[in-house]
A and B are shown apart, each in its own frame.
Chain A
């Protein structure tokens, strides 16, 4: 699978719009059977009290900027429909949370120039040093280096709450080609993105109220993100149950980072926590619920002694009741890649090719529990430079290797 990146929906007509810039040819020539699109909830349903893309959610103006939502939804519909007609399977990932649904609307739009943003529960969203730098450079901070208000999870994650209604909207609209005018039907809906990483907060319970402001940043409290994700998986499965499980659900789209802090939860701990809770509540996703993970760390920071994706499969064994079951659980890798620019370093296309190929060969062997391999970006994102194709349309070395890969 190749993830086409969110820009194809945020900015239709860009190189991440499947319909343009030779994208169908790139998918065909690379022998790629799947495509992953993004559904930004915070854009599609920016305003409370109206349906997605309807009424005040058709277009809205804030701070002098008008966002036209309907064309973005139409663009997503059209891209899904074209990808399907080209013979691809489609995954759609739900992205972010509108501020009306997560209790941050009173703060104004997310911005590193917004005082209310910077000061809202900063210990859940940034390090103390980042907060300090935001203060010393008030109004001129260039690095947007904290978790966005769009990534705060809603308190209500039940089927009748805002998030449940959004997932239901996606499931209904894209679970049946007759439910949208473009005839767009997806094959899998990933309900969340990297909940243990930078696109979700809070990760831990609140620090003691009587602790000092600075202390709050360093407190290691109880991990709670797995509770949220397990509940969201149950809610999505309930929705799928009503609609006849016409498409596959996927979660938790975990980052494979080993880092554990107030801001991040390690892959291992997130997986353990979710599995514990799902078992505690008799969750049964059946074969229509896929366990998903990202594998940037396995590619960019490989460990000679183990592969994180395979470790996850081991954790699922005997416990996971979704696709593959507890005896032969399957793991879909739904994002990954090797960046040519990262951490101030520049890497060559050959290094990218070798890293991706080596990581692939470590997990994709006969009988492997890994059932999907994904690259983030066909056309590369200059800010996350892991694509298979340069912005000028030339194909990178890794493109050739990718065309030999196989997935479910």
Chain B
């Protein structure tokens, strides 16, 4: 679990150094790592999104619990993208970590794939 600002991740675990910091609960270091290496962690999240093939459809699931769990995980992937964008903005300009994500660049494109902030 990680909580930075208003964004709480329950199940998503970042890879590499960020994952270690997340597991250790070292929030300040985690913010620095995610913010300074935004592109690496965006690439991980974009891969996660592609792995799920975009938006879940009820017809692809045998029961509602699996369907809702898939949605919940994709919620987390999208929220994680917002979180790493916030960390990057905080590291670069001191923007409030608790702020809503800057809406200038959409989080996902028309094909439901994560978009990079830059």
Q: A residues touching B (Cβ–Cβ < 8 Å)?
A: 155-156, 158-161, 164, 168, 205-206, 221-224, 226-227, 231, 234-235, 238-239, 241-242, 273, 276-277, 279-282
Q: Is B75 touching A231 in the complex (CB atoms < 8 A)?
A: yes
Tell me, rounded to whole Å, the shortest Cβ–Cβ distance linking A284 to chain B. Answer: 9
Q: Is B6 touching A238 in the complex (CB atoms < 8 A)?
A: no
Tell me the bound Cα distance from A303 to B6 in angstroms. 36
**B18-26, B28-36, B98-106: which lies at the A interface?**
B98-106
- B100 to chain A: closest residue by CB: A227
Q: Which residues of B contact A241 (CB under 8 A)?
A: 57-58
Tell me, rounded to whole Å, the shortest Cβ–Cβ distance linking B50 to chain A. Answer: 15
Q: Is B108 touching A282 in the complex (CB atoms < 8 A)?
A: yes
11 contacts between A and B (CB under 8 A): A156-B8, A156-B10, A158-B10, A158-B68, A158-B76, A159-B72, A160-B69, A224-B98, A224-B100, A231-B75, A241-B58
Q: Which residues of B contact A281 (CB under 8 A)?
A: 78, 106-108
Tell me the bound Cα distance from A226 to B103 in angstroms. 12
Which parts of B84-118 form the interface with A (CB within 8 Å)? 96, 98-101, 103, 106-110, 112
Tell me the bound Cα distance from A223 to B6 in angstroms. 11
Q: Is A238 touching B68 in the complex (CB atoms < 8 A)?
A: yes
Q: Is B98 touching A160 in the complex (CB atoms < 8 A)?
A: no
Tell me the bound Cα distance from A206 to B97 in angstroms. 10
Size category of the B interface is 20 to 34
**Cβ-defined partner of B64 (8 Å) among A158, A205, A242, A273:** A242
Interface residue B14 (Cβ < 8 Å from any Cβ of A): no
Q: Which residues of B contact A227 (CB under 8 A)?
A: 6, 100-101
Classify the secondary structure of B's interface with A.
Answer: loop
Tell me the bound Cα distance from A161 to B109 in angstroms. 26
- B95 to chain A: closest residue by CB: A222
Q: Which residues of B contact A234 (CB under 8 A)?
A: 75
Q: Is A242 touching B103 in the complex (CB atoms < 8 A)?
A: no
Q: Is B5 touching A205 in the complex (CB atoms < 8 A)?
A: yes
Q: Which residues of B contact A276 (CB under 8 A)?
A: 103
Tell me, rounded to whole Å, the shortest Cβ–Cβ distance linking B14 to chain A. Answer: 19
Tell me the bound Cα distance from A221 to B98 in angstroms. 8
Tell me the bound Cα distance from A85 to B112 in angstroms. 43
Q: Is B68 touching A164 in the complex (CB atoms < 8 A)?
A: yes
Tell me, rounded to whole Å, the shortest Cβ–Cβ distance linking B5 to chain A. Answer: 6
- B109 to chain A: closest residue by CB: A282
Q: B residues touching A (Cβ–Cβ < 8 Å)?
A: 5-6, 8, 10, 55, 57-58, 64-65, 67-69, 71-72, 75-76, 78, 96, 98-101, 103, 106-110, 112
Given that A205-B5, A238-B68, A238-B71 are known contacts, is A222 also in contact with B107, CB under 8 Å in the complex? no
Q: Is B100 touching A222 in the complex (CB atoms < 8 A)?
A: yes
- B78 to chain A: closest residue by CB: A281
Tell me the bound Cα distance from A277 to B96 in angstroms. 18
Tell me the bound Cα distance from A282 to B111 in angstroms. 9
Q: Is B8 touching A224 in the complex (CB atoms < 8 A)?
A: no
- A222 to chain B: closest residue by CB: B99
Given that A224-B6, A282-B55 are known contacts, is A205 also in contact with B68, CB under 8 Å in the complex? no
- B67 to chain A: closest residue by CB: A242
* 8 new A-B contacts at CB < 8 Å, known A234-B75, A241-B57, A277-B103: A159-B71, A227-B6, A242-B64, A242-B67, A273-B100, A280-B101, A282-B109, A282-B112
Given that A205-B5, A281-B78 are known contacts, is A158 also in contact with B72, CB under 8 Å in the complex? yes
Q: Which residues of A contact B110 (CB under 8 A)?
A: 282
Q: Is A223 touching B71 in the complex (CB atoms < 8 A)?
A: no
Tell me the bound Cα distance from A285 to B112 in angstroms. 15
Q: Which residues of A contact B109 (CB under 8 A)?
A: 282
Tell me, rounded to whole Å, the shortest Cβ–Cβ distance linking A342 to chain B. Answer: 33
7 nearest CB pairs, A to B: A205-B98, A222-B99, A276-B103, A159-B68, A158-B72, A280-B106, A160-B72
Q: Is B96 touching A205 in the complex (CB atoms < 8 A)?
A: yes
- A241 to chain B: closest residue by CB: B58
- A244 to chain B: closest residue by CB: B58
Q: Is A277 touching B100 in the complex (CB atoms < 8 A)?
A: yes
Q: Which residues of B contact A279 (CB under 8 A)?
A: 103, 106
- A237 to chain B: closest residue by CB: B71
- A164 to chain B: closest residue by CB: B68
- A230 to chain B: closest residue by CB: B100
